[in-house]
């Protein structure tokens, strides 16, 4: 049974693709600091920025790197960390875009790096996690899962976790790279692990949302989603929010995995939700491969608004105050009003945006599939 479900999930994944004065919504208290250290901004994967952004932003710089940028960047202490499809990792100066250092890894990078103190952690397509000195790119240790991966790591205390296509969730000692435990699922784990109150949550290609105890690696509960998922679950207010390839966004209780609500734009043949949700105190923002961005009532799951782009959306939305930013395969980066969904800002790039933005120190940084890294902020364009 496990083999059949795995094969069905992989076939489906190949077919469908591979995620004036305004009052701001309350920021998520789980978002730590003003840097963007993890995929989605925090280990709860809420997609909410702590750093404020000016209302009128301009492009500050653009930098060409080698390879496509399909993974989100990380930002820490004035440095931008970028992985590319040419097996490269770059450190750029946040203020100027100037290259500080670059190095190579074993394979294509499709997962966002994460930062902890003086270290940078990155997982490549071959499933090799590399721990580097983030100041100079020197490799400190590597761990080879021997399984392909597109999962961005999560740091929890002295542990670091990531998923693989080999149906595994790996937990390592972040200082040494030694394996602490590994948890086996029934399908590939494309998502980035979500940490919340002692548990790790993963939504996988086995169509199951799972809660795993971070200390023991033992499953606490599982819940059927009705569709396989590449998205990272978002945890907030003792609830878990996730979209899947069955065309639904769902909410579950974090404690027992009980379904609270589900949302689908249409009853017949809905398009997939590849992207991860962003969650605030009032709203869940979901972006779909039907070209639409949706604002949903967090308590009820009912639609508050929708906005149509000109192509599919795989990039996960990011909330900054009273605005949500999201990139589309139409080559545009949009800024939408969180209350109404109306477009307030747009930037037209030169290629698809499939990576979600990172927000830190009043700057928004994102890459595109032509290998261009953009930085936006309050100053005039050069």
pTM beyond 0.75, yes or no: yes
State the SS3 of the chain: CHHHHHHHHHHHHHHHCCCCCCCCCCCCCCCCCCCECCCCCCCCCCCECCCCCCCCCEEEEEEECCCCCCCCCEEECCEEEEECCCCEEEEEECCCCCEEEEEECCCCCCCCCEEECCEEEEECCCCEEEEEECCCCCEEEEEECCCCCCCCCEEECCEEEEECCCCEEEEEECCCCCEEEEEECCCCCCCCCEEECCEEEEECCCCEEEEEECCCCCEEEEEECCCCCCCCCEEECCEEEEEECCCEEEEEECCCCCEEEEECCCCCCCCCCCCCCEECCCEEEEECCCCEEEEEECCCCCEEEEEECCCCCCCCCEEECCEEEEECCCCEEEEEECCCCCEEEEEECCCCCCCCCEEECCEEEEECCCCEEEEEECCCCC
Instruction: Name the residue with tokens 């936006």.
Output: 376
Domains of the chain: 19-377 (2.130.10.10)
Q: Closest Cα partner for 74 from 129, 122, 139?
A: 122
pLDDT of residue 380: 53
Instruction: Name the residue with tokens 């949550």.
Output: 201
Judge whether 163 and 145 are in contact, CB under 8 Å.
no
Q: Closest Cα partner for 187 from 202, 204, 175?
A: 204
Judge whether 172 and 178 are in contact, CB under 8 Å.
yes
pLDDT of residue 111: 98
pLDDT of residue 34: 83
pLDDT of residue 379: 63
- Backbone Cα Rg of the chain: 19
pLDDT tens, residue order, the chain (382 aa) = 334 434 444 444 443 333 332 333 333 333 345 899 999 999 999 999 999 999 899 999 999 999 999 999 999 999 999 999 999 999 999 999 999 999 999 999 999 999 999 999 999 999 999 999 999 999 999 999 999 999 999 999 999 999 999 999 999 999 999 999 999 999 999 999 999 999 999 999 999 999 999 999 999 999 999 999 999 999 999 999 999 999 999 999 999 999 999 999 998 889 999 999 999 999 999 999 999 999 999 999 999 999 999 999 999 999 999 999 999 999 999 999 999 999 999 999 999 999 999 999 999 999 999 999 999 999 654 4
């Amino acid at each position: 049974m496990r083999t059949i479900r795995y094969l069905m999930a992989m076939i489906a994944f190949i077919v469908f693709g591979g995620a004036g004065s305004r009052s701001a919504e309350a920021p998520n208290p789980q978002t730590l600091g003003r840097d963007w250290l993890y995929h989605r901004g925090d280990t709860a994967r809420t997609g909410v920025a702590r750093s404020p952004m000016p209302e009128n932003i301009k492009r500050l710089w653009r930098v060409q790197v080698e390879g496509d940028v399909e993974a989100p960047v990380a930002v820490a202490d004035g440095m931008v960390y970028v992985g590319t499809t040419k097996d490269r990792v770059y450190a750029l100066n946040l203020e100027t875009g100037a290259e500080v250092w670059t190095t190579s890894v074993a394979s294509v990078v499709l997962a966002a790096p994460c930062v902890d103190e003086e270290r940078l952690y990155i997982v490549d397509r071959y499933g090799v996690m590399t721990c580097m000195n983030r100041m100079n790119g020197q490799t400190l240790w590597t761990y080879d899962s021997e399984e392909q991966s597109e999962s961005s790591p999560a740091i929890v205390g002295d542990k670091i976790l990531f998923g693989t296509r080999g149906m595994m969730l790996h937990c390592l000692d972040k200082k040494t790279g030694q394996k602490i435990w590994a948890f086996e699922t029934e399908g590939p784990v494309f998502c980035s692990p979500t940490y919340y109150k002692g548990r790790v949550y993963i939504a996988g290609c086995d169509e199951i949302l799972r809660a795993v105890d971070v200390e023991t690696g033992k499953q606490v509960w599982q819940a059927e989603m009705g569709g396989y998922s590449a998205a990272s679950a978002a945890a907030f207010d003792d609830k878990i929010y996730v979209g899947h390839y069955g065309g639904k966004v769902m909410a579950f209780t974090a404690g027992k995995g009980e379904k609270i609500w589900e949302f689908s734009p249409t009853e017949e043949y809905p398009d997939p939700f590849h992207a991860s949700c962003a969650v605030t105190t009032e709203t869940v923002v979901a972006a779909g491969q039907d070209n639409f961005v949706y604002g949903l009532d967090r308590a009820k799951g009912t639609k508050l608004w929708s906005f149509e782009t000109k192509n599919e959306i795989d990039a996960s939305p990011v909330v900054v105050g009273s605005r949500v930013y999201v990139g589309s395969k139409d080559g545009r980066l949009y800024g939408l009003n969180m209350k109404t969904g109306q477009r307030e800002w747009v930037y037209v790039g030169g290629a698809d945006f499939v990576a979600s933005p990172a927000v830190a120190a009043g700057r928004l940084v994102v890459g595109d599939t032509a290998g261009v890294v953009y930085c936006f902020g309050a100053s005039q364009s050069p």
